[in-house]
Amino acid sequence: MNMWKKIATLSLATSIAASSIGTSSISQASSKESAKNKDEVSYVGNTKNPKNVIFLVGDGMGPSYNAAYRYFADDPNTKEMDKTAFDEHLVGTQRTNPNDPKENVTDSAAGATAFSSGHKTFNGAIGVDANKQKVKTVLEQAKENGKSTGLVSTAEITDATPAAYASHVDDRDKKDEIAQQFYNDKINGEHKVDVLLGGGSEYFGKDNGDLTKKFKKDGYDIVKNKNDLKNSKGDQVLGLFAKNDMPLNIDAPNKNPELVDMEKSALDRLSKNDKGFFLMVEGASIDKAGHPNDVTGVMSEMGGFEKAFKHATEYAKSNPDTLVVATADHSTGGMSIAKGEDYEWNPDAIHSMKHSGKYMTEQIADGKNPEKVINEGYGFDISKDNMSDIKEEAENMKGLKEDDSEYEDQLQKLQDAIQKPINDKSNTGWTTYGHTGEDVNTYAMGQGSEKFKGNIDNTDNAKNIFEFFQQ
């Protein structure tokens, strides 16, 4: 269990009844919008609906993250601030609120269910509506249409966002059941998802029915590292690259694939299907770094997500029957670009970092020498007072076990102490360890992208895609 993740505690029904989704009518593009010039037609394609959909989710990627990353990625030698790969494809914003009786700021489960099904639901729900009824997803519709399907994430592949596309449970923490549904639930006699890439091997092993072996018996390539993935040639693949969440980019060993590597591998396989495909790609660890206010981890993961987004748009330019959409389920942490009285944010300090705050926290919590860990992880010297505070919080960790009630609170105190120097040096502010409810940005290009313009609701993503997939 992620130590910083908020877990919804709701009393839920034990069974989920099946129901079908009804897609609301969505207005067609105007004749003016349809009258594209020749160059634009060649760019976006000339079909009525996209054959392929690549839907990217930057989990926790609120507008301040996109703006901060622009500062972070900017070439200081140029006179004007450079645009990121996202900027030229900004088409609007999205509303993110859930349908929850107690909370009006969404978690990833409710947000992903809105993306996948077009239904608002309560926090913690996966593929079910507010009445705990099963709802059809766009991935399931794609499979019914004979398309290939894929789910890619830097989190556990059973985590909220990928789970909401191919499973239906009343509690996001039922990860064993989610994994079972990935294997057991079929459409037209076939597994729902052809390509599954991410972390979470814990939920596919002996303790949960040896699902990895079952997938292999059914013809899936099973891969465990970047080299395995590169050499895999099968049309269907299950790649599990970590026991739980994959390491952050800045901390990851060379054997691990990056998000863009997983995306490329998925596209190579899915694009073989003449009927098209649906692929969801999640930069999950943007959020996982945001929860503990880890600016180093956030910028590292934003860089990885930009690579994946850029590759998706390049694919769409070469395959004009492809729609690319990128957005976020919510923002996390209330990050501010500058804090206090200073009108300055210093990304150079972040660039100098060698490890994330998360990595250093875990190392020290495991008993490593605090001073050694900090000196190896920081790119600049920290003050004696900062080091003293880190050592004090590390000392307070001793004797605590993960199941102790005070463990998580003390772990966050340790990470706060570890990250204070980089937050101060970069002048980064934070307001919370949880989610925030502001509208998030929408980026889109390719056939059908005009449907995502303006201020839309997060459910409109699925409603649009359902309309595209109607036969």
Residues annotated as catalytic are: 108
Task: Tell whether residue 168 is among the known ligand binding residues.
Answer: no
Task: Tell whether residue 159 is among the known ligand binding residues.
Answer: yes
Report the distance separating Cα 413 and Cα 102, nearest Å.
28
Please work out, in degrees rounded to the nearest 5, the angle formed at the alpha carbon of residue 269 by the alpha carbons of 158 and 138.
Answer: 50
Task: Tell whether residue 161 is among the known ligand binding residues.
Answer: yes
Task: Tell whether residue 287 is among the known ligand binding residues.
Answer: yes
Using an 8 Å Cβ cutoff, are 288 and 155 in contact? Answer: yes
Report the distance separating Cα 143 and Cα 149, nearest Å.
7
Q: How many CA atoms lie within 13 A of 64 on its CB side?
A: 23
Task: Name the DSSP letter for residue 132.
Answer: S
Residue 455 DSSP SS3: strand
Structure tokens that stand for 109 in this block = 């489960």
Task: Tell whether residue 330 is among the known ligand binding residues.
Answer: yes
Task: Tell whether residue 274 is among the known ligand binding residues.
Answer: no
Task: Tell whether residue 291 is among the known ligand binding residues.
Answer: yes
Phi, psi of 41 (to 5 degrees): -60, -45
Q: How many CA atoms lie within 13 A of 471 on its CB side?
A: 8
Task: Tell whether residue 119 is among the known ligand binding residues.
Answer: no
Structure tokens that stand for 13 in this block = 């029904």
Phi, psi of 326 (to 5 degrees): -135, 135
Task: Tell whether residue 113 is among the known ligand binding residues.
Answer: no
SS3 content of the chain, % helix, strand, coil (to 5): 40, 15, 45
Phi, psi of 237 (to 5 degrees): -150, 140
List residues forming the annotated binding site for Zn(2+).
Answer: 59, 287, 291, 329-330, 435
List residues forming the annotated binding site for Mg(2+).
Answer: 59, 159, 161, 282
List residues forming the annotated binding site.
Answer: 59, 159, 161, 282, 287, 291, 329-330, 435
